[in-house]
């Protein structure tokens, strides 16, 4: 059995979003049931190169299938200017849990984008009103595209409002989706007033205020993945039904990390982990709920689940490169 080699385009072609969303939902459920093993993300700081490496290994058993893998990802801010390379370069190794055979090596950045969109879709499916028709986005970067792709697969989205400081990014986004949706650029307040809101920025200061949100808006806070990052006014968190992906990660580096550290919110303010909702141990949206917040930091099990979908389809089509990684 050869090892498949999938670049960004091949991952995109084989990551069917409805199946990725189902697989990520299964990953949340496996984690909640105790059927996943996910060591903490480890870091190698490289100050001499103004960068770092992060390793994210995981194994999960979804019942009908199991999967293992590791994502090796970096952040090197000098790359674009000095080397004409991306700041972030991710590599995903997807392995057979039984034999340890590396089944595929694939572009980890595309895996990250797909699983991030899928995680928002899982949360939205449980926390948004069934009649949700409009989607607001704060941030028009690469992550915003998979937010649309995933959320539009679980709600009948008709209208999209995107807000960004970069007018060119807004124009590119609008051009990409104008044939499918009523899409336009707008203010943060206009985006926040939509039926669903996803924030996908690297902001270190709150961008969205409590007053800007609709009465029942579910917010997918996807941008904060480091301790200094923050997209939402802390008043939103104290008022909202608060759902997290993982307690250790969100309290350390998620949207809630700053108000959690300074005591504005505590464990009693966290209503549920998304896995608890997926398996039915805690309710999703109820008639009494107003705004909700899903604090997503991104888990290695989501990467493994997404890689599983990509590998299965790539293996079926056979339309990807492969090589003999293990000699016999």
Q: How many other C-beta atoms can be found within 10 angstroms of the C-beta atom of residue 289?
A: 16
- C-alpha span between 153 and 155 (Å, rounded): 6
Q: Is 71 a catalytic residue?
A: yes
Q: Classify 318 in phi/psi space as left (phi over 0), alpha (psi -120 to 50) or beta.
A: left
42-57 burial, b at 16+ Cβ within 10 Å, e below that, comes to eeeeeeeeebeeeebb
Query: What number of helices (H) and strands (E) belong to the chain?
Result: 12, 16
71, 114, 229, 241: the catalytic one is 71
DSSP 232: B
For residue 38, the Cα-to-chain-centroid distance in whole angstroms is 17
Question: Per the structure block, which two tokens stand in for 14?
Answer: 């084989």
What six digits make up the tokens of 102? 């590396």
**Would you mind telling me the total number of residues written for the chain in this entry?**
328
| Catalytic residue IDs | 71
């Amino acid at each position: 059995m050869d090892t498949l080699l999938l670049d960004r385009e091949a991952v995109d072609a084989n990551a069917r979003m409805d199946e990725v969303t189902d697989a990520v939902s299964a990953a949340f459920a496996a984690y909640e049931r105790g059927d996943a093993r996910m060591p903490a993300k480890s870091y190698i700081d490289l100050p001499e190169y103004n960068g770092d490496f992060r390793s994210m290994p995981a194994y999960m058993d979804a019942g009908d299938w199991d999967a293992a893998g590791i994502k090796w990802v970096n952040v090197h801010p000098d790359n674009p200017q000095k080397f004409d390379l991306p700041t972030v370069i991710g590599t995903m190794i997807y392995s057979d849990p039984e034999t340890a055979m590396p089944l595929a090596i694939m572009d980890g950045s595309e895996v990250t984008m797909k699983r991030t969109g899928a995680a928002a879709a899982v949360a939205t499916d449980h926390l948004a009103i069934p009649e949700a028709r409009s989607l607001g986005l704060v941030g028009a970067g690469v992550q915003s595209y998979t937010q649309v792709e995933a959320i539009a697969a679980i709600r009948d989205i008709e209208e999209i409002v995107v807000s960004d400081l970069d007018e060119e990014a807004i124009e590119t986004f609008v051009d990409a989706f104008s044939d499918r949706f009523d899409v336009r650029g707008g203010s943060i307040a206009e985006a926040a007033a939509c039926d669903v809101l996803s924030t996908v920025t690297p902001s270190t200061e709150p961008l969205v205020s409590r007053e800007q949100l609709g009465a029942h808006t579910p917010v997918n806070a996807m941008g904060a993945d480091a301790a200094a990052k923050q997209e939402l006014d802390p008043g939103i968190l104290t008022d909202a039904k608060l759902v997290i992906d993982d307690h250790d990660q969100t309290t350390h580096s998620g949207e809630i990390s700053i108000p959690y550290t300074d005591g504005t919110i505590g464990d009693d303010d966290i209503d549920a982990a998304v896995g608890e909702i997926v398996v039915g141990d805690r309710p999703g949206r109820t008639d009494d709920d107003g705004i909700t917040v899903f604090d997503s930091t991104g888990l290695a099990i989501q990467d493994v689940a997404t890689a599983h979908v990509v590998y299965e389809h790539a293996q079926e089509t056979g339309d990807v490169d492969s090589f003999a990684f293990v000699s016999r």
